[in-house]
Homo-oligomer: A and B are copies of this chain.
Amino acid sequence: MTEPKHLFIPGPTNIPDRVRRSMNLAMEDIRAPDFPELTKPLFRDLKTVFKGENSEIFIFPSSGTGAWEAALTNTLSPGDKVIVASFGQFSMLWAKMCRDLGFDTEEWEVEWGEAFPVARLEERLTQSDAEDIKAVLVCQNETATGVTSDVAAVRRTLDAAGHPALLMVDGISSIASVEFRMDDWGVDMAIAGSQKGLMLPTGLSVLAVSQKALEASKTAQCRRSYFDLAWHAGANEQGYFPYTPATQLLRGLRTSLDIILEEGVENIWARHYRLAEGVRRAVHAWGLEYCARRPEIASDTVTGVMVPEGFDGAEVIKTAYAKYNTSFGAGLTKVAGKLFRIGHLGMLDEVKILSGIAAAEIAMRDCGIEIQAGSGVGAAIEYFRGADERPLASAAE
């Protein structure tokens, strides 16, 4: 009878009741004269969330995957060289999309659990054909492994080399949750999805575009229509969209932005760090390890818990779902069975994440994994009690 079930996947995330209420709507007139009173502030406030006052915001009725495509096809031409490091399911899929869309895709296969290899980029930029590189694609938060890459360092590396490549960032499971600074970090394309830090159902993707990328879009030769920025820009300027927008989600977005701005973007980053650190303390108390190879790249939105040799992460997930109404994220492809993932992003507080930790404990115990029941919860509690807000300066370090 439990409904809703307990949801600890790295998206779709739990949505605040206030957001849910705001989507309990009759349909409305998308060409009404007062419709821009809804839409224009959305663009403005999304800039605040992206820390991208100099960017332009585009909102598509699509999943985040659609905005991956939008970023590529609006700024590149067929055959353009792109560099993309794959170190998890989602960075791997973005690389696949690059090939499918006909780009000269240089995919760097990196060990899963590691982050974007900045040093390798530095070296790569010294090679003779480096000038062919049109874009560098970075998955800021690899959801499959729970690893956060250093976007700012990528920009510094490009700048140090004086390289003009566009910096495209998949921020689907990071933006509005962990530190992201569109303008300061010189990001050209940043992609978010509604069902993560924006605490909405799936169905909207958001693309923030730098002025440099907008300029590039004017000459990019890829064929495009649904995701064409120019078509959107013309309508957006008036507060409308080139085709029917998803008004229910736009109304929900209004509320989620209100909630985000009330808490404060930096405070949200700090909260995600604190709650994530509680999970990591729990993993440590269990005597287990998380998938991220090094603490400094451990994600604040999802933790991949490595199950001990001889056990199957999929069994933990199956047990949690079947017996305890609880969803964890699965290990995908290369890490299938080796881990289960605890999502900890969006609307979340101490008690909620403690219940996720407890659910993991009972499911692991049922699967025969030798952890001390309650140890993870206890470690997280003691951490939460003492935790100061982490200084913001180090939020992404």
Binding site for B on A (CB under 8 A): 1-7, 9, 11-18, 20-33, 60-66, 68-69, 78, 97, 100-102, 193, 195, 201-203, 222-228, 242-249, 259, 262-263, 318, 321-322, 324-327, 329-330, 347-352, 354-355, 358-359, 361-362, 365-366, 372-379, 381-382, 384-385
Contacts and interface: CB of A to CB of B under 8 A. Distances in A.
A201 B321 contact: no
Contacts of A222: 223
Given A203-B248, A226-B62, A245-B63, A1 B16 contact: yes
A268 to B, nearest CB: 9
25 contacts: A3-B16, A4-B27, A5-B29, A6-B352, A7-B28, A7-B29, A9-B30, A11-B244, A12-B30, A15-B27, A21-B21, A29-B321, A31-B329, A31-B330, A62-B62, A65-B225, A101-B223, A202-B246, A226-B227, A361-B381, A362-B384, A373-B379, A374-B374, A374-B378, A377-B378
Contacts of A322: 33
A25 B17 contact: yes
Contacts of A249: 201, 203
A189 to B, nearest CB: 15
Contacts of A22: 21
Nearest to A22: B21
Contacts of A228: 100
A246 B64 CA distance: 11
B245 A27 contact: no
B372 A378 contact: yes
A362 B374 contact: no
A8 to B, nearest CB: 9
Given A27-B201, A324-B349, A373-B379, 16 more contacts: A4-B26, A7-B27, A14-B26, A17-B24, A29-B321, A32-B327, A33-B322, A60-B62, A62-B62, A62-B226, A63-B244, A65-B243, A68-B226, A195-B244, A351-B355, A351-B362
Contact of A33 (B4, B13, B321): B321
Nearest to A29: B327
A263 B350 CA distance: 31
A22 to B, nearest CB: 7
Contact of A201 (B3, B246, B326, B385): B246
Contacts of A97: 225
A65 to B, nearest CB: 4
Nearest to A348: B2
Contacts of A244: 11-12, 63-65, 193, 195, 202
Contacts of A6: 351-352
A115 to B, nearest CB: 23
Nearest to A98: B225
Nearest to A26: B4
A42 to B, nearest CB: 16
Q: Which 8 A-B pairs have the closest CB atoms?
A: A374-B378, A355-B355, A4-B26, A29-B327, A374-B374, A12-B27, A354-B358, A65-B243
